Amino acid sequence: MNVTIYDVAREANVSMATVSRVVNGNPNVKPATRKKVHDAIERLGYRPNAVARGLASKKTTTVGVIIPDISSIFFAELARGIEDIATMYNYNIILSNSDQNKDKEIHLINAMLGKQVDGLVFMGGKITDDHIREFKTASVPIALAATVDESGETPSVNINYEQAAYDATELLLSHNNEKVAFVSGPEDTVVNTQKLEGYKRAMKDQGHNPDQWIVTGDYSYDSGIEAFEQLMEMEDKPSAVFVSADEMALGVIHGAQDNGVRVPEDLEVFGFDNTRLATMVRPTLSTVVQPMYDIGAVAMRLLTKFMNKEEVEDQSVILPHRIIERNSTQQK
Amino acid sequence: MNVTIYDVAREANVSMATVSRVVNGNPNVKPATRKKVHDAIERLGYRPNAVARGLASKKTTTVGVIIPDISSIFFAELARGIEDIATMYNYNIILSNSDQNKDKEIHLINAMLGKQVDGLVFMGGKITDDHIREFKTASVPIALAATVDESGETPSVNINYEQAAYDATELLLSHNNEKVAFVSGPEDTVVNTQKLEGYKRAMKDQGHNPDQWIVTGDYSYDSGIEAFEQLMEMEDKPSAVFVSADEMALGVIHGAQDNGVRVPEDLEVFGFDNTRLATMVRPTLSTVVQPMYDIGAVAMRLLTKFMNKEEVEDQSVILPHRIIERNSTQQK
DNA sequence: GTGAAAGCGCTAACAC
DNA sequence: GTGTTAGCGCTTTCAC
């Protein structure tokens, strides 16, 4: 049997309420008895049972984190931001992978609520009405990270994907490229749709056909290679390509190089995210900086505010993005 | 207020014991009353409170996972293996980053035990006596993943790092390289020490000086670039280099290329791990295959066996490794 | 096949 | 400043 608060109370000759007080740092305890209790705790090797505490206090100091895939370089960075801030505020994290599968997502939300998490950070592709319904029954706060809820009902932290894609496309266009292609991600996520819209808006603003040079990948390196091949099969080949994720952009670069196409001389390549990969390729990748770690950190911070019932000015946080030019695009 | 088992019992006109039985799939319930209960659960939207259940049953169906850094491509892959198997066996995971800091590690172990995890998967650099002491007081099983306990007391899943490093070095040596360098990781971890020993043994076996071409990095890409520079400052320059991690190996490759040194013609480069990075570079990286996902998965599986008090034949699992030759080494 | 009741280890009034 | 006590929402004997 493990040692309980009652054992400590007996050992220290006080009541369990007093032990509870010193364990929880309640100031209303005489220093002398505080010491007695601490000594008893030390002697017995007492370790408070967080489950019992959770049942009695209705707070578990743990938050649920639903993530598409922790082995993705992108989400892992987000997760690190979330976990760091959680630790800072004394929360632990229950982490589960959803693979962006809606049924799994709904199931995970319920499993975590069953475990009485104090809050939830959710990352996913598309927030449906079913998600919203689950969130509403939750009775604990939720924050979305790098995930947009079009209804705007759920607190979230993002960048402006549409504008970021616009900026990237416009930069490519400003390099005298007439034909700028876009390698899209899976088409069923809101983030991707927004990127696509930003690309199209930039193309239209400069009087170009926005629909001619679009191919679709799945964010993977290999799909970048395939995307490059599709681009080269076009009769009217693009001279620049904006790729919706860095890893996929590396695939495009290597696909080009493997086929004797020089980057950036023959083809300019632009990425998205600024993962660590962007500097781990030659030429180094020009890309949109999305602050993954910060998005995770801010989302968790936002969640702590809700959990503490603090005032929150704006529940839809948009973090700034920026462009970083490296060597996969022409120097101006 | 949330709906409790008691509410369901009243709604269904049965006792809470019966509700508990149907919720837990106990067969000793008449189908008719089972249905009554299910209906009531549905009607009320009852969701069992796992915290209360945990307190009563002394099992939380959650396991703790202590990981150096979830944003590392290597550990993220391990974590995914752990989580997948955990899910398969109906466990959730509490995940925390330790940054390989001993105090944090010890603190996390205690925090997780306080949360009454049913078991613990630990990843770290060095298992000290202090760690072992914590593990012993745990009263729940522990499994190490990609982490070696030299005392052999703690169940673990690894590959044979010494032999893997030997194999890689020997392969380089077989390519008529007289001077094979080694880029070590931080020197205070057991895994790194074993790699170093494997390298030295292979060098000695072929009659070469095992101490002349060793430089130290920190597994990062940038430290790979630095390592290359150190190598080039040597008066007796190596013609091949075995790098103890893929990401660092990419740094070496790019360091070489940035300085006009051709890989593999002028310098052969060999990595370790076979992370996804190995194919995301030109030339593609020859490397030692360490099955990260499997190590995580097997460690978690091992832990489930201990948690179920199943028989375990061998508590120190060594998974096979292999060599994969790509284009950063000479074809034979 | 079902119910009653005693905990699980703690927190949080409330009393003194 | 400290003790008493009633829960928190379940599981688990033990009866019947």
Q: Are A174 and A239 members of one domain? A: yes
Residues B79-136: pLDDT tens digits?
999 999 999 999 999 999 999 999 999 999 999 999 999 999 999 999 999 999 999 9
Q: Are A286 and A179 members of one domain? A: yes
Each residue of B169-185: b (16+ CB within 10 Å) or e? bbbbbebebebbbbbbb
Q: Are A138 and A178 members of one domain? A: no
Nucleotide with smallest C1' distance to residue A18 CA: D2
The DSSP-derived string for B115-159 is TT-SEEEE--S---HHHHHHHHT--S-EEEES---TT--S-EEEE
Q: Are A212 and A270 members of one domain? A: yes
Tokens of A64: 């649920």
pLDDT at A331: 81
* B133 CB neighbour count, 10 Å cutoff: 11
Distances (CA, A) of B134 to A73, B108, B129: 32, 11, 9
Asked whether residue A326 is assigned to any structural domain, the reply reads no
What is the spatial distance between Cα B236 and Cα B1, in angstroms, rounded to a whole number?
Answer: 75
Closest CA relative to residue B320, chosen from B284, B291, B282, B278:
B291
What is the spatial distance between Cα B105 and Cα B112, in angstroms, rounded to a whole number?
Answer: 11
Q: Do A92 and B92 touch (CB under 8 A)?
A: no
Q: Within an 8 Å CB–CB cutoff, is residue B83 touching chain A?
A: yes
pLDDT at B332: 66
Asked whether residue B332 is assigned to any structural domain, the reply reads no
Asked whether residue B171 is assigned to any structural domain, the reply reads yes
What is the spatial distance between Cα A296 and Cα A146, in angstroms, rounded to a whole number?
Answer: 8
* B32 CB neighbour count, 10 Å cutoff: 8
What is the spatial distance between Cα A67 and Cα A96, in angstroms, rounded to a whole number?
Answer: 6
Distances (CA, A) of A81 to A86, A97, B199, B282, B290: 9, 17, 37, 31, 27
- Chain A nearest-CA residue for B277: A277
Residues in chain B within 8 Å Cβ distance of A45: 137
Q: Do A79 and B71 touch (CB under 8 A)?
A: yes
Q: What 3-state class would DSSP assign to B268?
A: strand
pLDDT at A102: 97
- Decide if pLDDT at B1 tops 70: no
Asked whether residue A270 is assigned to any structural domain, the reply reads yes
What is the spatial distance between Cα A65 and Cα B135, in angstroms, rounded to a whole number?
Answer: 27
Q: Are B80 and B21 members of one domain? A: no
Q: Are A273 and A183 members of one domain? A: yes
Q: Are A117 and A29 members of one domain? A: no
Q: Are A266 and A301 members of one domain? A: no
Instruction: Report the Cα–Cα distance between both ends of chain A, in Å, rounded.
Output: 72
Q: Within an 8 Å CB–CB cutoff, is residue A254 touching chain B?
A: yes
- Identify the CATH number of the domain in which residue B37 sits: 1.10.260.40
Q: Is the CB of B24 under 7 A from strand C?
A: no
What percentage of chain B reaches a pLDDT higher than 70? 99
Closest CA relative to residue B50, chosen from B5, B12, B114, B17:
B5
The single residue listed with the structure tokens 């894609």 is A165
Strand partners for A276: none
pLDDT at B176: 87
What is the spatial distance between Cα A240 and Cα A268, in angstroms, rounded to a whole number?
Answer: 4
Per-residue tens of pLDDT for chain A, all 332 residues: 689 999 999 999 999 999 999 999 999 899 999 999 999 999 999 999 999 999 999 999 999 999 999 999 999 999 999 999 999 999 999 999 999 999 999 999 999 999 999 999 999 999 999 999 999 989 999 999 999 999 999 999 999 999 999 999 999 999 988 899 999 999 889 999 999 999 999 999 999 999 999 999 999 999 999 999 999 999 999 999 999 999 999 999 999 999 999 999 999 999 999 999 999 999 999 999 999 999 999 999 999 999 999 989 899 999 999 999 999 999 86
Q: Within an 8 Å CB–CB cutoff, is residue B114 touching chain A?
A: yes
Of A47, A94, A254, the CB nearest to B113: A47
Using the structure, give the distance in angstroms from the CA atom of A66 to the C1' atom of C16, rounded to a whole number: 49
Using the structure, give the distance in angstroms from the CA atom of A179 to the C1' atom of D4, rounded to a whole number: 80
Residues B4-32: pLDDT tens digits?
999 999 999 999 999 999 999 999 899 99
The C-alpha of B94 sits at a distance from chain A's nearest C-alpha, in angstroms, of: 4
Q: Are B9 and B65 members of one domain? A: no
The residue that minimises its CA distance to C1' of D5 is A17
Asked whether residue B56 is assigned to any structural domain, the reply reads no
Nucleotide with smallest C1' distance to residue A53 CA: C10
- Decide if pLDDT at B331 tops 90: no
Using the structure, give the distance in angstroms from the CA atom of B32 to the C1' atom of C5, rounded to a whole number: 25
Considering its fold, how many domains does chain A have in total? Answer: 3
- The dihedral through the CA atoms of A102, A103, A108, A114 has a sign that is positive
- Identify the CATH number of the domain in which residue B191 sits: 3.40.50.2300
- Decide if pLDDT at B297 tops 70: yes
Q: Do A60 and B69 touch (CB under 8 A)?
A: no
Return the CA Rg of chain A.
25
Chain B contacts in chain A segment 182-201 (CB below 8 A): none
Q: Are A153 and A174 members of one domain? A: no
Pairing, β B286-289 against β B322-324: antiparallel
Compute, in degrees rounded to 10, the torsion defined by CA atoms A258, A260, A266, A268.
Answer: 10
Averaged pLDDT score across all residues of chain B: 96
Using the structure, give the distance in angstroms from the CA atom of A99 to the C1' atom of D5, rounded to a whole number: 48
The C-alpha of A293 sits at a distance from chain B's nearest C-alpha, in angstroms, of: 10
Q: Do B147 and B126 touch, CB atoms closer than 8 A? A: no
Of B92, B257, B277, the CB nearest to A282: B257
Chain A contacts in chain B segment 296-325 (CB below 8 A): none
- Chain B nearest-CA residue for A49: B114
Which domain covers residue B265, as residue numbers?
A: 161-290
pLDDT at B187: 87
Q: Are B239 and B272 members of one domain? A: yes
Asked whether residue A186 is assigned to any structural domain, the reply reads yes
Asked whether residue B222 is assigned to any structural domain, the reply reads yes
Q: Are A138 and A187 members of one domain? A: no
Q: Within an 8 Å CB–CB cutoff, is residue A274 touching chain B?
A: no
Asked whether residue B55 is assigned to any structural domain, the reply reads no
Using the structure, give the distance in angstroms from the CA atom of A111 to the C1' atom of D6, rounded to a whole number: 30
